[in-house]
Chains A and B, each alone.
Chain A
Amino acid sequence: MLTEADVYAALEEVKDPEIPVISVVELGVIRDVIIGTDGSVVVQLTPTFAGCPAINHMKENIVQVLTAHGVVTSRVDVMYNEPWSTNLISPRGRELLKDFGLSPPPAFDGMLTLEVLQNAICPKCSSNNTFMMNAFGPTACRAVHHCRNCRETFEQFKPL
């Protein structure tokens, strides 16, 4: 029978299918892990963007990984209470995003202001002399910015 720590360790193997370097744990989408007396596991997952098509892949992958670790019965519940925010991405997760070429989302307090949305640091040269080109990008969670310093166009994991 797995402990909660074992389950979290196993979940490190489940990556975001759209950003395959970051795990669901580092992404901060695992809300809780509940282990039954019979060894069954319920994982509570909160979606990044409500319409994110990666959620179903993550759910399936979580069950697969837990099965591979010997869990006979497991289930993933999608929850919206205490909604996910990019502030929940771990420090290591932010580093991984940057290495992947995605500008990590700036931390913010309370309201998501226009200033926060437009603020991105270039993942190539770390300059903050950048501007937003498009609030929407190739996936729901990415925006497109341009760096005036190194003249690279780059993607940012949108603050949410």
Chain B
Amino acid sequence: MNTVAIKDLLYRLADDDLILGHRESEWTGIGPILEEDIAFSSMAQDEIGHAQAYYVILNELFGEATPDALAFGRKSDDFRCCQLVEFPIGDYAFSLMRHVLYDLAESVRLESLTKSSFRPLAELAKKLLREERYHQMHATIWAKQLGLSTPEANQRLQAALDFAYPYALALFEPTVNDAAIVAEGLQASEAELEYKWIEMLSQLLAESDLRLPVVPDKTVRYGGRQGMHTEHLGKLLAEMDEVFAIDETAVW
């Protein structure tokens, strides 16, 4: 078993979910309508729960630090999340579009992970995939409803998509461990997942009167999987880690 490759994969999965979950929680209390306030808060709770489940595997099976220490005790360049999840919530159009891009990708990835040769991950993926169905449904309904509503709504979604897409492609950033991950049957290749995601996304965008942006390869915002992040991550961590930095044993 290639533990380096599995750990790398687990950190990517966990860090994406943790950081996106934290961002989504920033809608609590200020959602554009009550239902969306609740939806983003609930999805945040799910994502952070998923991150915790991955950190538990890292802790219990690979001897990494405790889930709390992994979440709150690492520096920006220790994180393996993609840059898409780091951005502040922006306007609702951006948060919605990021959620669409992210949760479709997560569904494709989890589907592949249910067949992982690493049993604990396969079992967990089966569970998380069912929860993801609700995220996917939420994303799909809102993309269509707003995409097909007023010209302003459509334009704002399209602008958010144009901005977010080069970052979303980096959800599938190739890493040095990819070959081992595929060879050991841990997960399908990033390229294969990306292909399936684009297929699914294209269909949804067509149904929502939105266009898939054209992004030259060299402008894809890679780097997150190697620990290179936007300035936003450092600021987010400074806030998120504040209590832990003062007292690691603090309880709520």
Contact = CB atoms under 8 A, between A and B. Distances in A.
Interface stretch (A10-18, A76-84, A89-97): A76-84
A51 B130 contact: no
Contacts, number: 73
A50 B46 contact: yes
B109 interface: no
Nearest to A53: B45
Contacts of B138: 135-136
Interface stretch (B119-127, B175-183, B232-240): B119-127
B173 interface: no
B126 A83 contact: yes
Nearest to A135: B134
A82 B10 CA distance: 20
Contacts of A138: 38
B131 A80 contact: no
| Consensus secondary structure, chain B interface | helix
A50 B137 contact: no
B128 A135 contact: no
B127 A140 contact: no
A140 B45 contact: yes
Contacts of A117: 133-134, 137
B85 interface: no
Given A81-B119, A136-B41, 18 more contacts: A50-B46, A50-B53, A50-B127, A51-B50, A80-B124, A82-B123, A83-B126, A83-B130, A112-B130, A112-B133, A117-B137, A134-B38, A134-B39, A135-B137, A136-B38, A136-B39, A137-B38, A160-B131
Interface of B: 35, 38-39, 41-43, 45-50, 52-53, 56, 119-120, 123-124, 126-128, 130-131, 133-134, 137-138
8 contacts: A51-B52, A81-B119, A112-B133, A135-B134, A136-B41, A137-B38, A144-B35, A158-B134
Interface of A: 47, 49-53, 78, 80-85, 112, 114, 117, 133-138, 140, 143-144, 158, 160
